[in-house]
Amino acid sequence: MLATSWEPIDDLTWELTLREGVTFHNGAPFNAEAVKFSIERPHHPDFETGDKIIDVPISHVDIIDDYTVHIVTHEPVPILPQRLSRNGAFILEPGHYSELSQQESSRMPVGTGPFKLVEWVRDQRIVMERNEDYWGPMPNFDRLVYRVIPEPATMLAEVLTGGVDIAPVSPSNAEDVRAAEGVDLIVGDSLVRAVLIVNVNLHEAFNDPRVLQAMQWAIDTQALIDAFALGEAEQAVTMVNPPNHNPNLEPYGYDPDKARELLAEAGYPDGFTVELDVLHPDAFDWAEAAAFYLTEVGINISQVNMLSRPVWLPRNVEGTLNLHAHHWSAGENTPETDMWATHPDRPSNSTNWFNQEWYDLYAELVRTVDQDRRTEINHRMQEILHAEGGPWLTQFRVPLFRAISDRVAHYYPHPSFLVEDFAQIRLVE
């Protein structure tokens, strides 16, 4: 939104034309200096954290004039605009952020958006006020309050009694919202996938594609969608979301007899036993149901473990999770980022899966500018994943259920599950 145009001028250089007339919350002007500072900052050796933009091979930013920059990379980055949507590439005010430590600046943010921070009470609320100098359409309300409400029942009660205007709700509460007066239910599409992820080092069986294929055939995914997404989703074929999916691939169906045959062919006629780990609370119910289907064909899930994030994260990095269920989103919505989760070089790749052809194709994809060749590579990589059955047993894209007060208009949940565009909201007058 802070650029009016962007285009590659050679394989290593993108030119961005910046929006004029924009100021930061502290009154400083937004210009090319701010872009250079913000994009180069995470790559500085003394930068205190490695944010997500750090793995983008950016060399430097050249200032052409106050409102034109060239972002120069070490190698071709055909999806650089999508890479710049990452939180590590947010544009910061150089004067403010140069004077503060990382810890201080995280508590006193200065941006260019329609709201600015006025209060933060940890684990309770964040209060934002309208930025009267915002360059875009002005919201017609003064304050935006994020409330932390950990208990779903309390959150639902607040929605139904008018205590909050927008809140996520579980599918099990959807009918309560639909039946309530003064509240509407929005069901949004998303990029978030409900997935069972296989750690191939967990059991020798997981190194046989027939076993992974059997797991795909064993699960009645449509039944999971009907039960846990109220039918408001489609079965996913691979981990790559539309419009970048391979349209020639069909999802695995539900055929438990075929699953048992494949297990027997692989040398496991009596099955085997593993555990299932779950991180996201909303994934627990459907993961437990999936575990039932797997156990029915001989892959006995002896225990379903609900793990806290402090337990999950180090095991995710170490590659020591069991079979694990997750809700996962790559907000850039590109083949590279969708498939990055299974890449052997990803620090938090929890699958330990490797395929040489797939690995070599990925290296080519991330440097390929020609769109036709990119599509060819992308589709072949998905064919490999689909044929092997894993290591992601992708189930469905998780619909986003939101309860909305009828005094709110023009709100729609962002499909990435990672951000929201509250500037578009209007209070009904």
| Residue range 304-334, pLDDT digits in tens | 999 998 999 899 888 899 999 998 888 889 9
State mean pLDDT over 274-300.
94
pLDDT of 52 reads 67
Q: CATH 3.40.190.10 region(s) of the chain? A: 115-190+400-427
State mean pLDDT over 335-360.
92
The reply to whether CATH 3.90.76.10 applies to domain 3-107 is yes
Residue 40 · residue 34 · CB < 8 Å: no
Cα–Cα distance between 321 and 350 in angstroms, integer? Answer: 7
**What pairing do the DSSP bridges indicate for beta strands 143-147 and 3-10?**
unpaired
Cα–Cα distances (Å) from 252 to 114, 197, 249, 389, in that order, read 45, 16, 9, 9
Helices (H), 334-401: 335-339, 356-365, 371-388
Q: CATH 3.10.105.10 region(s) of the chain? A: 193-397
At 367-414, the pLDDT tens digits run 999 999 999 999 999 999 999 998 999 889 999 999 999 999 999 998
Is the pLDDT reported for residue 54 higher than 80? Answer: no
pTM above 0.85? yes
SS3 392: strand
Q: Name the amino acid, one letter, at 42.
A: P
Cα–Cα distance between 184 and 3 in angstroms, integer? Answer: 35
The reply to whether CATH 1.10.10.10 applies to domain 115-190+400-427 is no
State mean pLDDT over 272-292.
93
Q: CATH 3.90.76.10 region(s) of the chain? A: 3-107
Cα–Cα distance between 290 and 325 in angstroms, integer? Answer: 10
Q: 193-397, superfamily in CATH?
A: Dipeptide-binding Protein; Domain 3 (3.10.105.10)
- Rounded-to-10 torsion of CA 424, 425, 427, 429: 30
pLDDT of 329 reads 84
Element (H, E) at 293: helix 284-297
325 CB neighbour count, 10 Å cutoff: 24
Handedness of CA 216, 220, 222, 225 (dihedral sign): negative
**Local confidence band at 46 (pLDDT 50, 70, 90 cut-offs):** confident
Tokens 């039932």 sit on residue: 292
**Local confidence band at 188 (pLDDT 50, 70, 90 cut-offs):** very high
pLDDT of 140 reads 92
Q: Is 410 exposed, middle or buried, given 0-12, 13-18 or 19+ CB atoms closer than 10 A?
A: exposed
pLDDT of 202 reads 93
Cα–Cα distance between 316 and 300 in angstroms, integer? Answer: 22
What is the residue-averaged pLDDT of the chain?
93
Cα–Cα distance between 167 and 145 in angstroms, integer? Answer: 12
Strand partners, 258: none
Q: What percent of the chain has pLDDT over 90?
A: 80
Angle at 31 between CA 28 and CA 34, to 5 degrees: 80
**Local confidence band at 106 (pLDDT 50, 70, 90 cut-offs):** confident
pLDDT of 346 reads 86
Cα–Cα distance between 278 and 196 in angstroms, integer? Answer: 9
**Region class of 288: left (phi > 0), else alpha (psi between -120 and 50), else beta:** alpha
pLDDT of 49 reads 67
How many helices (DSSP H) and strands (DSSP E) are in the chain?
Answer: 14, 17
pLDDT of 88 reads 83
CA nearest to 331, candidates 9, 166, 88: 88
Cα–Cα distance between 65 and 166 in angstroms, integer? Answer: 42
Cα–Cα distances (Å) from 115 to 20, 135, 411, in that order, read 19, 11, 16
CA nearest to 338, candidates 189, 197, 195, 191: 191
Tokens 């994809």 sit on residue: 365
pLDDT of 51 reads 65
Is the pLDDT reported for residue 429 higher than 90? Answer: no
State mean pLDDT over 104-132.
93
351 CB neighbour count, 10 Å cutoff: 23
State mean pLDDT over 221-250.
94
**Local confidence band at 105 (pLDDT 50, 70, 90 cut-offs):** confident
